Structure 1
Amino acid sequence: MRNRLGNYQIHLDGTDVKLIELLYDNARTPIAELARAVGMTAPSVNERLKRLEENGVISGYRIEVNPVVLGYRLMAIVRMRQHPGKVKQLESLIESIAEFVECDKVTGDDCYIARLYLQDISDLDPILDPILDRVAEIADTNTAIVKSTPVKRRLLL
Protein backbone atom coordinates (compact mmCIF):
# COMPACT_ATOMS: atom_id res chain seq x y z
CA MET A 1 0.00 0.00 0.00
CA ARG A 2 1.34 3.42 -0.91
CA ASN A 3 0.39 6.69 0.75
CA ARG A 4 1.30 10.20 -0.35
CA LEU A 5 2.73 12.41 2.38
CA GLY A 6 4.08 15.70 1.15
CA ASN A 7 6.19 15.11 -1.95
CA TYR A 8 7.19 11.55 -1.20
CA GLN A 9 5.55 8.18 -0.84
CA ILE A 10 5.78 5.76 2.03
CA HIS A 11 5.46 2.06 1.32
CA LEU A 12 3.44 0.15 3.92
CA ASP A 13 3.80 -3.59 3.99
CA GLY A 14 1.18 -5.97 5.38
CA THR A 15 2.67 -5.84 8.88
CA ASP A 16 2.55 -2.03 8.93
CA VAL A 17 -1.06 -2.10 7.78
CA LYS A 18 -2.02 -4.68 10.43
CA LEU A 19 -0.34 -2.67 13.20
CA ILE A 20 -2.12 0.50 12.10
CA GLU A 21 -5.47 -1.31 11.96
CA LEU A 22 -4.96 -2.71 15.46
CA LEU A 23 -4.02 0.69 16.85
CA TYR A 24 -6.89 2.36 15.02
CA ASP A 25 -9.29 -0.03 16.76
CA ASN A 26 -7.60 0.53 20.14
CA ALA A 27 -4.75 3.04 20.45
CA ARG A 28 -3.99 1.64 23.92
CA THR A 29 -3.15 -1.86 22.68
CA PRO A 30 0.04 -2.94 24.49
CA ILE A 31 3.17 -3.49 22.38
CA ALA A 32 3.35 -7.13 23.52
CA GLU A 33 -0.18 -7.75 22.24
CA LEU A 34 0.59 -6.03 18.94
CA ALA A 35 3.73 -8.16 18.60
CA ARG A 36 1.77 -11.37 19.14
CA ALA A 37 -0.87 -10.31 16.61
CA VAL A 38 1.72 -9.75 13.86
CA GLY A 39 4.13 -12.53 14.84
CA MET A 40 7.07 -10.29 15.74
CA THR A 41 9.04 -9.41 18.83
CA ALA A 42 8.04 -6.42 20.93
CA PRO A 43 11.29 -4.52 20.13
CA SER A 44 10.71 -5.06 16.40
CA VAL A 45 7.16 -3.74 16.66
CA ASN A 46 8.41 -0.80 18.69
CA GLU A 47 10.90 0.04 15.92
CA ARG A 48 8.23 -0.22 13.22
CA LEU A 49 5.92 2.09 15.15
CA LYS A 50 8.77 4.54 15.71
CA ARG A 51 9.50 4.52 11.95
CA LEU A 52 5.81 5.02 11.13
CA GLU A 53 5.71 7.97 13.54
CA GLU A 54 8.93 9.51 12.21
CA ASN A 55 7.65 9.22 8.64
CA GLY A 56 4.39 10.91 9.60
CA VAL A 57 2.17 7.91 8.84
CA ILE A 58 1.10 7.82 12.50
CA SER A 59 0.62 11.38 13.66
CA GLY A 60 -0.84 10.71 17.08
CA TYR A 61 -2.74 8.43 19.41
CA ARG A 62 -6.16 9.71 20.40
CA ILE A 63 -9.20 8.85 22.41
CA GLU A 64 -12.70 9.10 21.04
CA VAL A 65 -15.36 10.53 23.33
CA ASN A 66 -18.89 9.24 22.83
CA PRO A 67 -21.19 12.30 22.90
CA VAL A 68 -24.27 10.16 23.57
CA VAL A 69 -22.82 8.93 26.87
CA LEU A 70 -22.34 12.58 27.85
CA GLY A 71 -25.98 13.31 27.05
CA TYR A 72 -25.52 14.77 23.56
CA ARG A 73 -27.89 12.71 21.45
CA LEU A 74 -28.13 14.99 18.40
CA MET A 75 -25.59 16.46 16.05
CA ALA A 76 -26.34 19.53 13.96
CA ILE A 77 -24.46 20.43 10.80
CA VAL A 78 -24.30 24.11 9.93
CA ARG A 79 -23.36 24.95 6.36
CA MET A 80 -22.13 28.51 5.82
CA ARG A 81 -21.46 30.67 2.77
CA GLN A 82 -19.75 33.92 3.67
CA HIS A 83 -20.85 37.25 2.28
CA PRO A 84 -18.40 38.81 -0.21
CA GLY A 85 -15.11 39.82 1.41
CA LYS A 86 -15.97 38.22 4.78
CA VAL A 87 -14.07 34.90 4.61
CA LYS A 88 -11.40 35.81 7.20
CA GLN A 89 -13.99 37.38 9.50
CA LEU A 90 -16.22 34.29 9.24
CA GLU A 91 -13.33 31.91 9.90
CA SER A 92 -12.35 33.90 13.02
CA LEU A 93 -15.94 33.88 14.21
CA ILE A 94 -16.25 30.12 13.68
CA GLU A 95 -13.05 29.53 15.65
CA SER A 96 -14.43 31.62 18.53
CA ILE A 97 -17.70 29.67 18.84
CA ALA A 98 -16.99 26.95 21.39
CA GLU A 99 -20.12 24.99 20.47
CA PHE A 100 -18.63 24.13 17.08
CA VAL A 101 -16.69 20.94 17.77
CA GLU A 102 -15.42 20.58 14.20
CA CYS A 103 -15.42 22.66 11.04
CA ASP A 104 -14.21 22.08 7.48
CA LYS A 105 -13.45 24.75 4.89
CA VAL A 106 -14.86 23.35 1.65
CA THR A 107 -15.32 24.08 -2.02
CA GLY A 108 -18.70 24.25 -3.72
CA ASP A 109 -21.83 26.13 -2.75
CA ASP A 110 -20.84 26.32 0.91
CA CYS A 111 -17.57 27.62 2.29
CA TYR A 112 -17.64 26.05 5.76
CA ILE A 113 -19.35 23.03 7.28
CA ALA A 114 -19.41 23.01 11.07
CA ARG A 115 -20.72 20.45 13.55
CA LEU A 116 -22.12 20.88 17.04
CA TYR A 117 -23.86 18.59 19.49
CA LEU A 118 -27.19 19.05 21.25
CA GLN A 119 -28.66 17.15 24.16
CA ASP A 120 -32.19 17.30 22.82
CA ILE A 121 -34.16 18.79 19.93
CA SER A 122 -35.51 21.35 22.39
CA ASP A 123 -31.95 22.73 22.62
CA LEU A 124 -31.90 23.55 18.92
CA ASP A 125 -33.38 27.04 19.12
CA PRO A 126 -31.90 28.20 22.47
CA ILE A 127 -28.40 27.07 21.51
CA LEU A 128 -28.38 27.51 17.76
CA ASP A 129 -30.31 30.79 17.39
CA PRO A 130 -27.72 32.96 19.21
CA ILE A 131 -24.93 31.33 17.19
CA LEU A 132 -26.74 31.78 13.90
CA ASP A 133 -27.60 35.38 14.76
CA ARG A 134 -23.86 36.11 15.07
CA VAL A 135 -22.99 34.21 11.89
CA ALA A 136 -25.89 35.70 9.87
CA GLU A 137 -24.21 39.11 9.90
CA ILE A 138 -21.44 37.77 7.66
CA ALA A 139 -22.76 34.53 6.12
CA ASP A 140 -25.80 32.68 4.87
CA THR A 141 -26.45 29.46 6.80
CA ASN A 142 -28.32 26.21 6.44
CA THR A 143 -28.70 23.78 9.33
CA ALA A 144 -29.47 20.06 9.33
CA ILE A 145 -29.85 17.51 12.11
CA VAL A 146 -27.97 14.26 11.61
CA LYS A 147 -30.39 11.31 11.72
CA SER A 148 -27.73 8.59 11.64
CA THR A 149 -24.17 7.94 10.54
CA PRO A 150 -24.16 4.96 8.17
CA VAL A 151 -20.41 5.33 7.60
CA LYS A 152 -18.25 6.41 10.50
CA ARG A 153 -14.78 7.76 9.84
CA ARG A 154 -12.82 4.95 8.23
CA LEU A 155 -9.17 4.08 8.35
CA LEU A 156 -7.47 5.34 5.20
CA LEU A 157 -5.36 2.42 3.98
Structure 2
Amino acid sequence: MNGLDEIDLKLVVALKEDSRRSLKALAQICGLSAPSVSERLRRLEERRVLTAYTIEVDPRALGYHLQAIVRIRPLPGQLHEVERLIRSIPEFIECDKVTGDDCFIARLLVRSIEDLDGVLDQIVHLAETNTSVVKKTSIPRRLPPLSPARGSDG
Protein backbone atom coordinates (compact mmCIF):
# COMPACT_ATOMS: atom_id res chain seq x y z
CA MET A 1 0.00 0.00 0.00
CA ASN A 2 2.04 2.95 1.25
CA GLY A 3 4.75 1.34 3.33
CA LEU A 4 2.84 1.80 6.60
CA ASP A 5 2.13 -1.25 8.70
CA GLU A 6 -0.75 -1.68 11.14
CA ILE A 7 1.21 -0.19 14.05
CA ASP A 8 2.22 2.87 12.01
CA LEU A 9 -1.43 3.40 11.11
CA LYS A 10 -2.45 3.11 14.78
CA LEU A 11 0.12 5.76 15.68
CA VAL A 12 -1.04 8.13 12.96
CA VAL A 13 -4.70 7.77 13.96
CA ALA A 14 -3.89 8.13 17.68
CA LEU A 15 -1.89 11.31 17.04
CA LYS A 16 -4.58 12.74 14.78
CA GLU A 17 -7.09 12.24 17.59
CA ASP A 18 -4.75 13.85 20.14
CA SER A 19 -1.30 15.07 19.10
CA ARG A 20 -0.37 15.61 22.76
CA ARG A 21 -0.49 11.93 23.69
CA SER A 22 2.55 10.81 25.62
CA LEU A 23 4.91 8.10 24.41
CA LYS A 24 3.59 5.94 27.23
CA ALA A 25 -0.01 6.37 26.06
CA LEU A 26 0.96 5.69 22.44
CA ALA A 27 2.88 2.60 23.54
CA GLN A 28 -0.21 1.27 25.32
CA ILE A 29 -2.36 1.86 22.23
CA CYS A 30 0.12 0.03 19.99
CA GLY A 31 1.27 -2.67 22.41
CA LEU A 32 4.91 -1.56 22.20
CA SER A 33 7.49 -0.08 24.54
CA ALA A 34 7.92 3.69 24.68
CA PRO A 35 11.41 3.49 23.06
CA SER A 36 9.96 1.44 20.18
CA VAL A 37 7.22 4.01 19.68
CA SER A 38 9.79 6.80 19.77
CA GLU A 39 11.81 5.06 17.05
CA ARG A 40 8.71 4.53 14.89
CA LEU A 41 7.75 8.19 15.25
CA ARG A 42 11.27 9.21 14.24
CA ARG A 43 11.04 7.05 11.10
CA LEU A 44 7.56 8.41 10.27
CA GLU A 45 8.95 11.93 10.58
CA GLU A 46 11.98 11.12 8.40
CA ARG A 47 9.64 9.70 5.72
CA ARG A 48 7.48 12.84 6.02
CA VAL A 49 4.40 10.82 6.96
CA LEU A 50 4.25 12.98 10.07
CA THR A 51 5.12 16.58 9.25
CA ALA A 52 3.88 18.47 12.33
CA TYR A 53 2.32 18.09 15.73
CA THR A 54 -0.26 20.81 16.02
CA ILE A 55 -3.29 22.18 17.79
CA GLU A 56 -6.71 23.17 16.56
CA VAL A 57 -8.10 26.54 17.56
CA ASP A 58 -11.72 27.62 17.18
CA PRO A 59 -11.45 30.87 15.22
CA ARG A 60 -14.69 32.13 16.79
CA ALA A 61 -12.97 32.12 20.18
CA LEU A 62 -10.53 34.64 18.67
CA GLY A 63 -13.30 36.80 17.24
CA TYR A 64 -13.25 35.45 13.68
CA HIS A 65 -16.93 34.78 13.05
CA LEU A 66 -16.88 34.83 9.26
CA GLN A 67 -15.16 32.37 6.98
CA ALA A 68 -15.10 32.75 3.22
CA ILE A 69 -13.82 30.88 0.20
CA VAL A 70 -12.51 33.11 -2.56
CA ARG A 71 -11.86 32.08 -6.14
CA ILE A 72 -9.18 34.37 -7.53
CA ARG A 73 -8.39 35.00 -11.19
CA PRO A 74 -5.36 37.27 -11.62
CA LEU A 75 -5.45 39.87 -14.36
CA PRO A 76 -3.02 39.18 -17.24
CA GLY A 77 0.59 39.30 -16.09
CA GLN A 78 -0.32 39.53 -12.39
CA LEU A 79 -0.14 35.86 -11.32
CA HIS A 80 3.04 36.11 -9.25
CA GLU A 81 2.11 39.46 -7.74
CA VAL A 82 -1.30 38.10 -6.69
CA GLU A 83 0.32 35.04 -5.12
CA ARG A 84 2.79 37.26 -3.24
CA LEU A 85 -0.04 39.49 -2.04
CA ILE A 86 -2.18 36.57 -0.85
CA ARG A 87 0.80 35.26 1.14
CA SER A 88 1.22 38.65 2.80
CA ILE A 89 -2.40 38.98 3.99
CA PRO A 90 -2.75 37.06 7.27
CA GLU A 91 -6.52 36.63 6.97
CA PHE A 92 -5.85 34.13 4.17
CA ILE A 93 -5.40 30.89 6.10
CA GLU A 94 -5.16 28.52 3.12
CA CYS A 95 -4.64 28.92 -0.59
CA ASP A 96 -4.37 26.40 -3.39
CA LYS A 97 -3.08 27.09 -6.89
CA VAL A 98 -5.52 25.25 -9.16
CA THR A 99 -6.27 24.45 -12.77
CA GLY A 100 -9.32 25.84 -14.52
CA ASP A 101 -10.64 29.35 -14.92
CA ASP A 102 -9.43 30.52 -11.53
CA CYS A 103 -5.77 30.31 -10.55
CA PHE A 104 -6.26 30.29 -6.78
CA ILE A 105 -8.88 29.05 -4.35
CA ALA A 106 -8.32 30.57 -0.93
CA ARG A 107 -9.93 30.32 2.47
CA LEU A 108 -9.93 33.30 4.77
CA LEU A 109 -11.14 34.25 8.21
CA VAL A 110 -12.43 37.71 9.12
CA ARG A 111 -14.36 39.28 11.96
CA SER A 112 -17.03 40.98 9.81
CA ILE A 113 -18.31 41.63 6.31
CA GLU A 114 -16.54 45.00 6.47
CA ASP A 115 -13.26 43.21 7.17
CA LEU A 116 -13.95 40.86 4.25
CA ASP A 117 -14.43 43.86 1.97
CA GLY A 118 -11.17 45.35 3.26
CA VAL A 119 -9.22 42.19 2.46
CA LEU A 120 -10.74 41.86 -1.01
CA ASP A 121 -10.13 45.55 -1.72
CA GLN A 122 -6.39 44.84 -1.36
CA ILE A 123 -6.39 42.51 -4.38
CA VAL A 124 -9.15 43.87 -6.62
CA HIS A 125 -6.68 45.94 -8.67
CA LEU A 126 -4.74 42.76 -9.52
CA ALA A 127 -7.44 40.08 -9.85
CA GLU A 128 -11.09 39.23 -10.27
CA THR A 129 -12.61 37.48 -7.25
CA ASN A 130 -15.67 35.40 -6.56
CA THR A 131 -16.48 34.98 -2.87
CA SER A 132 -18.67 32.51 -1.02
CA VAL A 133 -19.36 32.87 2.70
CA VAL A 134 -19.12 29.57 4.57
CA LYS A 135 -22.34 28.88 6.47
CA LYS A 136 -21.21 25.60 8.03
CA THR A 137 -18.28 23.21 7.69
CA SER A 138 -19.95 19.87 7.09
CA ILE A 139 -16.69 17.94 6.92
CA PRO A 140 -13.70 19.45 8.72
CA ARG A 141 -10.21 18.69 7.41
CA ARG A 142 -9.55 15.03 8.01
CA LEU A 143 -7.15 12.26 7.11
CA PRO A 144 -7.73 10.32 3.91
CA PRO A 145 -8.66 6.64 4.30
CA LEU A 146 -5.83 4.76 5.98
CA SER A 147 -6.77 1.37 4.60
CA PRO A 148 -6.06 -0.13 1.17
CA ALA A 149 -7.81 1.61 -1.71
CA ARG A 150 -11.30 0.44 -2.48
CA GLY A 151 -11.37 -2.07 -5.25
CA SER A 152 -7.73 -3.07 -4.82
CA ASP A 153 -6.86 -6.71 -4.74
CA GLY A 154 -4.96 -6.49 -1.52
TM-score, normalised to structure 1, is 0.86
Q: How does 1:85-100 map to 2 (within 5 A)?
A: 85-100=77-92
Give 1:16 shift: 0.3
**Which residue type is aligned with residue 85 of structure 2?**
L
Partner of 1:155: 143
2:54 maps to 1:66: no
**Which residue type is aligned with residue 84 of structure 1?**
P
**Which residue type is aligned with residue 62 of structure 2?**
L
Give 1:96 shift: 1.7
Post-superposition CA distance 1:88-108 (Å, at most 9, x none)? 111111112222122111111
1:73/1:134 Cα in 2 relative to 1: closer, same or farther (>3 Å)? closer
SS in 2 for 1:69: helix
SS in 2 for 1:60: coil
2:117 maps to 1:129: yes
Q: CA RMSD in A?
A: 1.3
Give 1:44 shift: 0.9
Partner of 1:20: 12
2:132 maps to 1:144: yes
Is there any run of 5+ residues in structure 1 with no aligned partner, and where? 3-10
Identity value in percent: 52
Is there any run of 5+ residues in structure 2 with no aligned partner, and where? 147-154
**Which residue type is aligned with residue 130 of structure 2?**
N
C-alpha separation between the residues in 2 aligned to 1:66 and 1:30? 24
